[in-house]
Amino acid sequence: MDFNDSKEEATFRNEAREWLVANAPTAADLNGLDDMGQAKLWQKRKADAGWACIRWPKEYGGRGANAMEQVILSQEEAKVKAPNTGFFSIGQGMAAPTMMTWATEDQKKQYLPKLASGENVWCQLFSEPAGGSDLAALRTRGVRDGDEWVVNGQKIWTSGAQYSDFGILVLRTDPNVAKHQGLSYFFLDMKSPGVEIKPIKQISGASGFNEVYFTDVRIPDAQRLGEVGQGWQVALTTLMNERASIGGGGGGAGFEQIMKLAQQLNIDDKPAIEDKQVRANLANWYVRQAGLKYTGYRSMTALSRGEIPGPENSIGKLVGAPLTQDLASFAIDLMDQAGILWSPESAELENIFQSAYMSIPGLRIAGGTDEIMANIIAERVLGLPQDVRVDKGIPFSEVPTGN
Amino acid sequence: MNFEFSEEQNLLREQTRGFLKDFCSPKVVRASLEANGPFNQELWRKVAEMGWTSTVIPEEYDGLGLSYLELSVIADELGRAMAPLPFSSSVYLATEAILAQGSKAQKEAWLPRLASGELIATFAMAENHGQVSPKNLTTTVTNDKIHGTKTPVPDGDYADLAIVVTQSSKGDGASWYLVDLTQSEIQRAQVRTLDPSRSHAQIDFNGASAELIGTDGGGWAATQNLLNRAAVLFAWEQVGGSDAALEMAKEYALGRYAFGRPIASYQAIKHKLADMYVRNTLARSNCYYGAWALNTNASELPIAAATARVSAIQAYYFASKENIQTHGGMGFTWEFDCQFHYRRSKILAVNVGSERQWQDKLITAIEQTSAA
């Protein structure tokens, strides 16, 4: 066991580092650009030099690199000061793999390079008010009209819809067959007439999500991915990639930060870190955070050996999000009566735990709730049976509905 | 990045697991439990023949000279099988103590016989309830004669040799002494514990002869280092047991029906088992890090050992208690094997110091690292 790169990996790391250091945007490059403008500038620069979406084939804007090289590039990019390109993660991480598997060759050539370069931003239109954990219960209707589909209904929790150029979406195209059989999968131009986007204000005050309404929106049949009625199968390609791309992060509120806080604050006129209960709590968070880190190393080792990582990695979000929530809550308690203060102008340690406290509830739900993640581990990793489903085998239109 | 066992080490795992399946079935564990120990001598002889007791002992002392990664694999499998053996006392503690602090003569005298398994040794630290410290140690040595009482001493009822933690001669720290436990002055009696498949004893030294190992007054630092090393190997036994408890719960839940379907199809049970899986996975990954630190003698060892130890204690406690819960009433019966994990998890959780103590050590080690 060691933590060293192989010879090829070391060569790649050097090459990546040299390029990143030489090409990361300077303050002058970014002057006057908003967050999206900065992200687009950096993404385009990476794409032009072959450092964007490096695992993709070259003809679609990638580099044909392996998974370990992707890990190395991400590690090195985290070390340079570069704009946050999170705007592109849904498109590149979820829409693109789905296009790669299900789109025609012409479509791949048309859409993928612009996804890689950040020229186009994509969003994912899956969840609905009646289709959350039970995603296949979605009701937004698609009705065929010649070479087009007419769409009516509502999507919800759509991250980034307000700045997206395209979206991937799943529609109910046949309500008279069983739930999973009546779905079809499309992509559409978000500027299509009849698409209306309304931001959702979250408990944190931020608005990262939207409701998206469809009123007689027309989508060409050529933008269908997979056969009519095969939408669920196509959606699974997207979902498998989603869970890999949502971490458990809490905006920098982790062990290191709470350790610092406990060293700065006092309990009974002594540094809080000397309090035995504080130490025990900190130790518990440390070992869970470390467990995730070393689980990641095991997965990386599999990648480095050209193997597929085992199921260990499916635990990241399920462990990380509740861990950060508990840690943030405890940090606020440590601040005692002033723990309720929450101002963006405050010093980092007087702000990040409050921000994490208010944003983590969303992470425990997004991309599969804790409960759904536990089901996935139970069923796919441990091989336990699925729940009994009362909607199995009956037409969707006859499935009982509540509120 | 190479954070995985090698092909040879995985082969060793297969071989070890197969051997223990044949010779250390739950029936063997039950026999030791019901007989109140002391241990399975036939199994010990076989294990020694396989060379497990000599894994990390250098070849010059008749050992195999393998690494701590091989020993980690063996510990993982012994934990999974809940082997009723004095392996942790003799190998993770006593052998390590002599390797770390023994003079050349002491190594020559003891290591070859520990390697062959002909000799069983232990590490005597506890003096009844509460945490041992250099301030409260009451065992003393005067003119190479040892006085005092240690209890509970793991495998102390039949071990041939003990490394005993005593008060230093100046009374300002700790020292280590080698004590031949077969001396006539020594009185020892098995004590009743939570897990009779691993026996423990009270030992009264009564002025028996003792020989200093390491330096007078250097025993406390030596103990901390020894416990760090042993904690990694204990943690491997714990994650081995945790995985076995999870598998046991899973098998039962798949076969047990209630309300017309397997209880494994209810979310209350599925989520419980998923929770076990998550805890076991985190603890196992921390054990990888511990094994790496132990094997390379890395400066991170105190952090890595405490991290592995704390998460492995928590994982095994959780898996062993929720395994009983999953089995329902039958899990609480003497007839079922669920009790083995529940008992063993607690023995392993306190043997080299409790969770609370290791949580504190972990934060101390982190403070020291960031201050350096």
pLDDT band at residue A1 using 50, 70 and 90 as cut-offs? confident
- Contact with chain A for residue B247, Cβ under 8 A: no
In what helix (H) or strand (E) does residue A354 lie, and over which residues does it extend?
helix A352-363
Beta bridge partners of A188: A167
pLDDT surpassing 60 at residue A246: no
Domain boundary (A23, A56, A84) is at A84
β-bridge mates for residue B167, sequence order: B174
Q: Please enumerate in sequence order all residues whose Cβ is within 8 A of that of A42, keeping only pairs 6 or more positions apart, or say none.
A: A24, A25, A82, A83, A85, A118
Size of interface A-B (CB pairs under 8 A): 150
Residue of chain A whose Cα is closest to the Cα of B70? A1
Distance CA A266, CA A273 (A): 8
Q: Is A165 exposed, middle or buried (0-12, 13-18, 19+ CB in 10 A)?
A: middle
Entry field: residues in chain A: 403
Q: What is the CATH number of domain B121-216?
A: 2.40.110.10
**Edge-to-edge strand ranges of the sheet holding B187-191:** B149-154, B200-204, B187-191
Nearest residue to A237 (alpha-carbon basis) of A85, A344, A103, A363: A103
Q: Do A388 and B295 touch (CB under 8 A)?
A: no
Any domain includes A361: yes
Alpha carbon A216 to chain centroid, angstroms: 29
pLDDT over 50 at A90, yes or no: yes
Query: What pLDDT sits at residue A299?
Result: 85
Chain B residues whose CB is inside 8 A of the A298 CB are 3-4, 285, 288
Q: Which residue has the higher pLDDT, A81 or A218?
A: A218
CA atoms within 13 A on the CB side of A243: 20
Tens of pLDDT, residues A344-401 = 888 888 899 999 999 999 999 988 899 999 999 999 999 999 988 889 889 999 998 8
Q: Is a pLDDT exceeding 70 seen at residue A244?
A: no
Determine the distance from the C-alpha atom of residue B61 to the mean position of all C-alpha atoms in its chain, rounded to a whole number: 23
Kindly state whether residues A170 and A195 are assigned to the same domain.
yes
Task: Tell me which residue in B69, B262, B363 faces A385 most closely, judged by beta carbons.
Answer: B262
Of B307, B360, B362, the CB nearest to A276: B360
Query: For residue A241, what pLDDT band results from cuts at 50, 70 and 90?
Result: confident
Q: Is the dihedral of CA B169, B175, B181, B186 positive or negative?
A: positive
Domain containing residue A284: CATH number? 1.20.140.10
Classified as helix, coil or strand, A211 is strand
Are A124 and A168 contacting, i.e. CB atoms less than 8 angstroms apart? yes
Inter-chain CB proximity A381 and B277 less than 8 Å: yes
Which among A342, A364, A362 is positioned nearest to A352, based on CA atoms? A342
ipTM: 0.96
Sign of CA dihedral B39, B44, B47, B52: positive
Distance CA A305, CA A68 (A): 9
Nearby residues of A370 by Cβ (< 8 Å), 6 or more positions away: A318, A321, A322, A364
Catalytic residue among A128, A242, A312, A398: A242
| pLDDT at residue A249 is higher than 50 | no
Asked if the structure places residue A306 within a domain, the reply is yes
Distance separating alpha carbons of residues B363 and B356, to the nearest angstrom: 11
Mean pLDDT across the stretch B228-236? 98
- The alpha carbon dihedral of B291, B282, A74, A114 has a sign of positive
What is the SS3 string spanning B29-79?
HHHHHHCCCCCCHHHHHHHHHCCHHHCCCCHHHCCCCCCHHHHHHHHHHHH
- Locus of tokens 């209890």: B151
Both A332 and A254 in one domain: the answer is yes
Domain span including residue A299: 247-365
Match 């994990």 to its residue by tokens.
Answer: B341
- A251 vs A348: CA distance, rounded Å: 11
Tell me the pairing of strands B121-124 and B145-147: unpaired
**Which pLDDT tens digit goes with each residue over A39-88?**
999 999 999 999 999 999 999 999 999 888 988 999 899 899 999 999 99
Are the CB atoms for B77 and B239 separated by under 8 Å?
Answer: no
- Domain membership of residue A326 (yes or no) is yes
CA dihedral B17, B21, B24, B28 (to 10 degrees): 150
pLDDT on residue A4: 85
Flag whether A373 is in a domain.
no
CATH architecture of B220-371: Up-down Bundle (1.20)
Question: A223 and A238 share a domain?
Answer: yes
Q: Determine the Cα–Cα distance for residues A7 and A5; give it in Å rounded to an integer.
A: 6
Give the nearest partner residue to B264 out of A3, A374, A385, using CB atoms.
A385
**How much of chain B exceeds pLDDT 70, in percent?**
100
- Nearest chain A CA: its distance from B103 CA (Å): 30
Distance CA A1, CA A112 (A): 39
A253 and A352 together in one domain: yes
Whole-angstrom Cα Rg for chain B? 21
* Co-location of A239 and A140 in the same domain: yes
A384/B286 Cβ within 8 A:
no
pLDDT tens column, B336-363: 999 999 999 999 999 999 999 999 999 9
Given a cut of 50, whether residue B319 has pLDDT beyond it is: yes
Same domain? For A166 and A128 the reply is yes
By C-alpha distance, which of A215, A381, A93, A358 is closest to B278?
Answer: A381
What's the farthest any 2 CA atoms get from each other in chain A? 77
Q: For residue A247, what pLDDT is reported?
A: 45
CATH code, residues B7-116: 1.10.540.10
Average pLDDT of B57-77? 98
Candidate from A259, A293, A388 with C-beta closest to B261: A388
Put simply, whether B359 touches A (Cβ < 8 Å) is yes
Q: A155, A196 in Cβ contact below 8 A?
A: no
Total structural domains within chain A: 3
Q: By C-alpha distance, which of A10, A144, A7 is closest to A72?
A: A10
The answer to whether residue A99 is domain-embedded is: no
Asked if the structure places residue A378 within a domain, the reply is no
Is residue A348 located within the same domain as residue A293?
Answer: yes
Which DSSP string corresponds to B178-218?
EEETTSTT-EEEEE--S-TTS-EEEEE-TTEE-EEES-TT-
Closest approach of chain A CAs to the CA of B204, in angstroms?
34
Average pLDDT (B172-182) is 96
- The verdict on A219 and A198 lying in the same domain is yes
**Same domain assignment for residues A229 and A275:** no
Least Cα distance to A239 among A387, A131, A118, A358 occurs for A131
To the nearest whole Å, the CA of A238 is away from the closest chain B CA by 24
Range A149-160 average pLDDT: 96
Domain termination site, one of A37, A65, A84: A84
What DSSP letter does each residue of B311-357 carry, written as one string? Answer: HHHHHHHHHHHHHHHHHGGGGGSTTSTHHHHHHHHHHHHHHT--HHH
Residue A307 bears catalytic tag: no
Q: Does A281 lie in the same domain as A222?
A: no
A259-268 pLDDT, tens digit each: 999 999 999 9
Copy the structure tokens of residue B355.
Answer: 């969770």
- The pLDDT confidence band at residue B58, using thresholds 50, 70 and 90, is very high
Q: Using 50, 70 and 90 to split pLDDT, how confident is the model at B53?
A: very high
Residue A248 has pLDDT above 80, yes or no: no
pLDDT at A388: 86
Q: Which residue, A244, A275, A304, sits at the end of a domain?
A: A244
Among A63-72, A330-339, B211-220, B310-319, name the one with the lowest average pLDDT: A63-72
- Chain B residues with CB under 8 Å of A369 CB are none
pLDDT of B308 > 60? The answer is yes
Q: Indicate yes or no: CB of A287 within 8 angstroms of CB of B356.
A: no
pLDDT tens digits, residue range B193-205?
999 999 999 999 9
Across A171-180, A339-348, B183-192, B355-364, least confident range: A339-348
Domain membership flag for residue A104: no
Cβ–Cβ < 8 Å for B121, B161: yes
Q: In terms of domains, do A71 and A144 share one?
A: no
pLDDT digits (tens, 9 = 90+) for B243-302: 999 999 999 999 999 999 999 999 999 999 999 999 999 999 999 999 999 999 999 999
Same domain, A273 and A310: yes
* Domain contains A346: yes
- What one-letter code names the amino acid at A100? M
Nearest to residue A339, comparing CAs of A357, A312, A364? A357
Domain ranges within chain B, ordered by starting residue:
7-116, 121-216, 220-371
